[in-house]
Structure 1
Amino acid sequence: MGNQPSVPKPGTKFQVIGAGLSRTGTASFSEALRILLDGPVYHGGTQATLAPPVEIKSWIKLLSHWPPKDASEKKLVRSILAERFDGYAAATDAPVSGLVKEMLELYPDAKVICTVRDADAWVKSMATVANASTLWFLSVVLLPLPGMRHFPTYINVLRKQWVHLYGEREPMTKKSYYGQIELLKEIVSADRLLFFNVKEGWEPLCKALGKEIPDVPFPNINDGNAIDALAERMIKSGLVRWAMFLMTVVVVVVSAYLMRTSQV
């Protein structure tokens, strides 16, 4: 997860579908793509939590109709994807990683790149994320925040997508990790699919995209730290909003009481 949401640039050609699961270096990968493709990259986690509320609400709507049961739902899913990615050079992270089939239909010329890491380390990392995103009090604390009030619902539809694709809920296991890899091998032709570890740096990524290696270090963004910081910031913001609301209520009640007693 990055620090700032991306802004679409009209006329940008969509080139890369990021098929790697969350916590596989998707934030670093997104920044690397931004540099190589010279265009904005849509990182799912960042856009859903830090961009305007339309982002997270759109994903909730899409995933509530996914997988599509009929032509009408298929059309809806396609239209939301086209709207969300208009003006972007690439998209990464969830829920994109679970919508590769639909993305290929929309962008038939796009390259599919799946970020990977050690499977055991991924399982441990996902356990931390799952614990943070399912705290029982989140729905109440986040209620005053325009976009994040939808976060618990967003997590629920993401969970539905995950169960459909990999057949398991939290805690995630290596079954999900390797399930994504096998799924991609089934639906993406080998000449369009790259499995990439961000620790490998620029060379394999640039080779796959036909780009020169840039004269800058490969990005190194810690998703875990970003997620922890976001959670802390959002919880504090929610509590502050609640405190202000309750203070306002108290002031109104006391003022009404004083006015009433003064008239007696």
Structure 2
Amino acid sequence: MGQKPSVPKPGTKIQVIGAGLPRTGTASFSAALETLLDGPIFHGGTQATLGPPEQIKTWMSALRHWAADTASDREPMLQLLERQLDGYAATTDSPGAQFVPELMELYPDAKVICTVRDPVSWERSMNQIMHHTFLWFLKGVLLPLPGMRHFVDYLGLLSVQWIRLYEEEIPTRQTYYRHIEWLKEVVPEDRLVFYDVKDGWEPLCAALGKEVPRDQPFPHINDGEAIDKIASLHIRRGLTRWAVILGGLAMGLMWVLY
């Protein structure tokens, strides 16, 4: 959850559909759910950037089926989502937050919980993500890395989904408002909970019918710092891999010339 990927636990099923947008405390929310649900949590951003390469490729396939929006694409999309989340107790962050209607169909007993924050500060926070993800050299740097070589194309597919749902190419506070209204339209009122991680254990435990953990502080993970660390990590890994590749090519050329 912003720090390291979760590993699926056989037999575990989705109990919570995290419907909050990125940068609404989803990493802290995921860590709290891991304690309350006693199972691994699929945090979309973490799994896409640090998880097995198959996970980002599965999301891309599901997003392509979603974008096609035909009757023949629906069943393959649902199968991909179910396979992706098999072994997890909850899903949080994007793109799960944009697949809420489909996930409700797959997991009819799951609670839908949307993490919230001040829309103005959310807009500022999203600008940080845009800074990292739209670096002009990013695709080239990540090319030697399995999984992450697909990251820029994955972001493009996410963008298509967001534009269709929220009618904005660049996320603003209006995107935030539209997401909240969309959830109210697609999720039954008795199944939808809005939750601010600043409120700690009590409201979350009440929504899930769980006891408040004793002598355990609520986890607070700085999403911004986690994203900065992940971005720096992959850029360093990509540059290192390129240095090895180019160094090997140079040595080979020298050997041929010699």
TM-score scaled to structure 1, two decimals? 0.96
After TM superposition, the structure 1 = structure 2 runs for residues 19-58 of structure 1, keeping only pairs within 5 Å, are 19-58=19-58
2:126 matched to 1:126? yes
Distance in 2 between residues matched to 1:211 and 1:2, nearest whole Å: 24
Q: CA deviation at 1:61?
A: 1.0
- Give 2:199's aligned residue: 200
| Equivalent AA in structure 1 for residue 20 of structure 2 | G
Say which SS state the counterpart of residue 77 (structure 2) adopts. Answer: helix
**Aligned pairs, how many?**
257
- Give 1:227's aligned residue: 227
Distance in 2 between residues matched to 1:69 and 1:30, nearest whole Å: 30
| Equivalent AA in structure 2 for residue 64 of structure 1 | R
Distance in 1 between residues matched to 2:249 and 2:159, nearest whole Å: 37
Distance in 1 between residues matched to 2:231 and 2:193, nearest whole Å: 32
| Equivalent AA in structure 2 for residue 37 of structure 1 | L
- Give 1:187's aligned residue: 186
List alignment gaps of at least 5 residues for structure 2: none
Distance in 1 between residues matched to 2:244 and 2:69, nearest whole Å: 45
Distance in 2 between residues matched to 1:160 and 1:118, nearest whole Å: 25
| Equivalent AA in structure 1 for residue 150 of structure 2 | H
Distance in 2 between residues matched to 1:14 and 1:231, nearest whole Å: 29
Q: CA deviation at 1:142?
A: 0.4
Distance in 2 between residues matched to 1:30 and 1:69, nearest whole Å: 30
- Give 2:72's aligned residue: 72
Distance in 2 between residues matched to 1:252 and 1:173, nearest whole Å: 50
1:150-188 CA-to-partner distances (Å, cap 9, x unmatched) read 110011001111101100011x21111011111111111
- Give 2:175's aligned residue: 176
- Give 1:117's aligned residue: 117
- Give 1:17's aligned residue: 17
| Equivalent AA in structure 2 for residue 123 of structure 1 | E
Spell out structure 1 runs of 4+ moving beyond 6 A. Answer: none
Q: CA deviation at 1:241?
A: 0.7
1:194-215 CA-to-partner distances (Å, cap 9, x unmatched) read 1000000000000010000002
Distance in 1 between residues matched to 2:14 and 2:249, nearest whole Å: 49
Distance in 2 between residues matched to 1:156 and 1:67, nearest whole Å: 12
Distance in 2 between residues matched to 1:45 and 1:192, nearest whole Å: 24
CA contact (8 A) 2:67 2:160 kept: no
Superposed CA RMSD in Å reads 0.9
List alignment gaps of at least 5 residues for structure 1: 259-264
Distance in 1 between residues matched to 2:34 and 2:75, nearest whole Å: 29
CA contact (8 A) 2:144 2:238 kept: yes
Q: CA deviation at 1:13?
A: 2.6
1:242-261 CA-to-partner distances (Å, cap 9, x unmatched) read 11111111111111111xxx
Distance in 2 between residues matched to 1:71 and 1:88, nearest whole Å: 28
Q: CA deviation at 1:67?
A: 3.8
CA contact (8 A) 1:145 1:238 kept: yes
- Give 1:261's aligned residue: none
